[in-house]
A and B are shown apart, each in its own frame.
Chain A
C-alpha cells in the first residue's frame, strides 16, 4: 500500500493547562509516561500509524498549549481537524467547567461547517488519584457530555495507561468517519495546481 493512499487523520487535543494532554498523547503513541514533560508552548505534533478495520491510517496528533492566551495561535493548527479531543482533569473542577468553552472555541476557530456532527471525544484524565481527591464524578461528567451532544466520554490515567488505547480507538474511528465523509463531499484540492490542469487535459482524450 502506498503512502499516498494512506489516510491521514488529524486529531487535536485541547484542554486546560496541566490536565495531561501531552501525557495522554505520549502514552498513546509511545506507551510511556514521564513525570518530566514540559509545559507545551505553541503546539507539538506526533504521528502514529494505525490499522482500523484493515484500513491503514496515519493519525496526526496535535498537542496544544493549555494557557488560554496561546489559543489565538490556534487557527492554523485547528484547520482540517478530523476529531477534537477535549481533556479535563478529574481532580480539577475548573478544567471540567472549561470543557464547553474549549469546544466552542474550537468550533469557531476551526471553522467547522457542521458543528452538530463534528466528532468530539471527552477524556477525564488522572483517575489514578486517590478517590478523595477526585472532584468530578463519573456521573456528572457523563451527564454533561450527554448534554453537549452525546459526546463519547472516557476516564483515563495516562500515568498508568488505563483506558488510553480505548479512548484513542474511538477517536481514530470517529476521525476516520469524519475524514471519509469530508472526502466524499469535498473536492480535495492538491497542493500542486498543475494536477488539476493536467487532469482536465488528460481526460479530454484525443
Chain B
C-alpha cells in the first residue's frame, strides 16, 4: 500500500501509532500495574491493512532505542514535529467515519522491533486487524478517571486484558489536550462530547486502517470491519427513529434476540485482568441501557437477584440472552435448527451422522392415551415390539394419563408380554408380597424399641418425608400435621404411605437401608402410580440400578463421576482443559444431579419426562451421563469465556436449577451419544487396522472400560455390602 518507497530494516515493523503510559491493572493494587505502549504496527513492507498489528508492549520488554522511538512517536505521531497528528484531519469537521484517503499517508517513518503477538513472560500481546472483532471503549468521564479499551479478538478463546490510558502521565496526550484547548474546533472523533482522552486518538487512528462502526445497541462497542451480517445482526434496523438508541431500548427483546450471540458473549467475556473493571461498570450502574432494561424483566431479575461477583453475574446474563436468542432462532429456522446448531457446536464430524440417525434427533409428541391403548390388542397384550415402544417413549415421552400403566412396564413391574388379565393377577400377588414386608417392621416391636440403626432410620425417613415435594397438592401439609419430626401424625395420609413404602424397602434391602435422596426417587412414582404396593415394587425395581448411587462408600457415584469426567475429555476437550484450570474437573457439581437423576434441577413434570426417557435404556443404561454432558456442552462457551474459578463454576452449575430446557438437552444428549458411539467405532476400527505392531501407539487411543460401558443397555448393578453389627450408621 505504501506509496513511498523505502525499505524495512530487518526484523522491524513500521510504527503507525503509539501511545505511552497505557496500563494493565493486574490487580487492584497500584504496585501491580504494568505500564507500556499501545501501538499499531505495520509488520512488513506492503502489509495490507488487515495484517497490521495492534500491539501492546510493556516498557520492561523494550530496548532503549525502541523506547526512544516510541516516546517520540507518542509525542509527535506520523507528522513529525508538526502540530497535526497522524495526518488525520483533526481540524476539520469533514473527517468521516469511512477512514481516510491515501493523501494522508505517513510522513515520518519510524521502525521498532516487530512486537510479540503473545508472551508467557510478560503482558505483551498483538492482534492483527483481521483478528479484531470488536473493541469495548470506556471513555474517560468525570467519574472514571482512566478511560480504557478492551480488544475482543474474533477467536473467542483468546482474551486480552483491558488497557487503561493514564492520560495524566502521557506526554503525547498532554500535548494533544494542550493543542485542543488552543484550537476552537472540537476533535471530530470525540463526538460523545466527553473529556478528551488517549483512547480517542487510538480509535481515530485505527479508523485509518479499517471500518469501525459504533453499535446503537451497545454504545460502547465498536465493531471492526463488520460483515454485512454482523451489521444487520448487531445494528438493528431503526430507520424511522431519530434516536436509534432510544428506539432500541423500547424493543429490547427483539433486539437481544436479533443480536449476534458472538457479540454478546464478547461483551460478557472478561478476563481476570478485566474483571475489576467490569465489576466497576456493574457497580456504577453504567450498564448499557438495553441491558439494564432487560435486567428489569422479572424473569431475568429473578436470575440476577443474588449475584456475588461480576463473573457469575455476567455468565448468567449471557445465559439469559442465549436462552432468548435460541428460542427465537428455533422459530425461524424450524427443523433445520438442530442440524445447524449441532454442526456448528460439534464441528464437521457431525456431517458423518447418517440421515436416519439425524431424523431421530428430534423430539416427538408424547404418547397419548389413544395411541398407547392402540399398542395393545383386545386382551391387553402388546402388539408391537418392545423396541418400538421404547423408541417411541425415548423420543417423545408419555402423556400424563398413560404414565401409570406405562411406568409399571418400563420399571419391570409388569413384563411386556403379559395380558391385562395376567397383570391383574400379578398385581394381587404383588400386593400380598408387599404386605409381608409392611407387616414385618410394624410387628417387630423389639427392634422398634431397641435397635439403634432402626431408630436412626426412622428419624431420618420421617424427617425427609416431611421435606419431599411438599409443594405438590397431594403432599401439602394439613392442619393436623405435627411439627415434631419423629411424630407419626403426618396429617396428610399420602405421607404415611410414603413412609410405609420406605420402611418396607428398608426391610427388603436391609443392607442398604434408607439413604437421603431416596424419598426424592419415590415421590414421582407414588404421585403417578398412586397405589401403595405397585408403587413399592416400582420403587424396588427403580432402586436396582440406582442402588449404586447410594452405597456407603459412594464408590458407585465416584465411578459415574469418573465416567463423566472421561467422557468430557473425550467429547469436549477444550472445556475439560478449562475446567482443569479452574480446579473443577472433578465435576462434582453433578453429584446431586446424577444421584437423584436431576430431580432437584428440573420441575416435577420435567423430572417425570426425563425419567421415563431414561428408563427405556434405549441407547444406554447410563444415558443420564449423556444428559449431564449435554448440559456442559450447551454451556461450554459461557463457562470457558466467563468463569475462572472453582466456586464460580459451582455456583453457575447450581444456579442452572430451574433453567434447564429438557427437550433441547435431550436432543443434544442423543446427538452426543450418537457422536460418541461413532467416535468409539472409529477408534476401534483404527486400532484394528493398525494391528498388533502399532499396539503401543494405538493404546493411547484405547477406549477405557468406563467409556465402553456407556454403550451398554444393561443396567449396572452394584449392591451394598452386607451390613455387619458394627457397621456405623448412615
Give me the interface of A with B, judged by CB distance under 8 Å: 1-5, 10, 17-18, 29, 35-39, 41-42, 44-47, 49, 58, 60, 65-70, 72-73, 76, 129, 133, 190-192, 194-195, 197-199, 201-202, 204-206
Is the pair B467, A38 in contact by a Cβ cutoff of 8 Å?
Answer: yes
A4-B279 in contact (CB<8A): yes
Flag if B60 contacts A206 (CB, 8 Å): yes
- Give the top 9 A-B pairs by smallest Cβ distance, nearest first: A3-B279, A47-B308, A68-B730, A42-B592, A4-B276, A18-B463, A42-B591, A5-B28, A67-B516
Known: A3-B279, A46-B306, A191-B581. A73 touches B60 (CB 8 A): no
Question: Contact at A39–B464, with CB atoms within 8 Å?
Answer: yes
Q: How far is the CA of A18 from the CA of B486 in the complex (A)?
A: 11
Which of B120-128, B132-140, B149-157, B524-532 lines the interface with chain A?
B120-128
Given contacts A3-B309, A199-B26, contact A36 B730 (CB under 8 A): no
Query: How far, in whole Å, are A190 and B582 apart by their CA atoms in the complex?
Result: 11
Within 76-125 of B, Cβ neighbours of A (below 8 Å) are at 120-123
Complex CA gap A3/B26 in Å reads 13
Chain B interface size range = 35 or more
Selected A-B contacts with CB under 8 Å, 14 pairs: A17-B463, A17-B516, A18-B485, A36-B467, A38-B600, A42-B588, A47-B308, A67-B730, A70-B554, A73-B554, A191-B272, A192-B644, A198-B122, A202-B123
Question: B582 to A191, Cβ gap below 8 A?
Answer: yes
* B430 at interface, CB cutoff 8 A: no
A73 CA / B552 CA spacing, docked (Å): 12
A residues near B463, Cβ cutoff 8 Å: 17-18, 39
Q: Is B654 an interface residue (CB 8 A)?
A: yes
User: Within the assembled complex, what's the spacing in Å between the Cα atoms of A44 and B653?
Assistant: 10
Across the interface, which residues of B come within 8 angstroms of A73, CB to CB? Answer: 554, 588, 591
Residue from B28, B581, B592 in contact with A2 in the complex, judged by beta carbons closer than 8 Å: B28
Q: How far is the CB of A55 from chain B (nearest CB, A)?
A: 14
Q: Let me know if A191 and B471 touch, CB within 8 A.
A: no
In contact, B592 and A41 (Cβ under 8 angstroms): yes
> Which chain B residues border A10 with CB–CB below 8 Å?
647
* Chain B positions within 8 Å of A68 at CB level: 728-730
Closest B residue to A126 by CB, please name it. B483
* Chain A residues within an 8 Å CB radius of B592: 41-42
Whether A45 lies near B516 (C-beta < 8 A) is no
- The answer to whether B58 has its CB under 8 Å from any CB of chain A is yes
Residues of A within 8 A of B645 (CB): 191
Are A60 and B647 closer than 8 Å at their CB atoms? yes
- B586 engages A45 (CB within 8 Å): no
B630-646 interface bits toward A, Cβ cutoff 8 Å, 1 = contact, 0 = none: 00000000000000111
Contacting pair B308 A190 (CB below 8 A): no
Shortest distance between the CB of A176 and any CB in chain B (Å): 16
| C-alpha gap A5/B728 in the complex (Å) | 46
List of A residues within 8 angstroms of B27 by Cβ: 4, 195
The docked-state distance in angstroms from the alpha carbon of A3 to that of B281 is 10
A4 to B460, CA, bound (A): 43
Instruction: Encode B293-324 as 1/0 by CB contact (under 8 A) with A.
Output: 00000000000001111100000000000000
Asked whether A198 lies within 8 Å of B123 as measured between CB atoms, the reply is yes
Additional A-B contact list (11), CB under 8 Å, known A41-B591, A197-B121: A3-B280, A3-B282, A18-B463, A36-B471, A39-B519, A45-B651, A47-B307, A58-B309, A68-B729, A190-B272, A199-B26
Known: A36-B470, A73-B554. A47 touches B516 (CB 8 A): no
On whether the beta carbons of B28 and A4 are closer than 8 Å, the reply is: yes
- Knowing A39-B463, A206-B60, say if A199 contacts B32 (CB, 8 Å): yes
Taking a contact as CB atoms under 8 Å apart, the answer to whether B460 and A17 are in contact is yes
Contacts of B231-274 to chain A: CB distance below 8 A? 272
User: Whole-angstrom distance between the alpha carbons of A37 and B468 in the complex?
Assistant: 8
State A73–B589 Cα separation when bound (angstroms): 11
B476 to chain A, nearest CB (A): 10
Q: B467 touching A37 by the CB < 8 A rule?
A: yes
Alpha-carbon separation in the docked complex, A133 to B485 (Å): 12
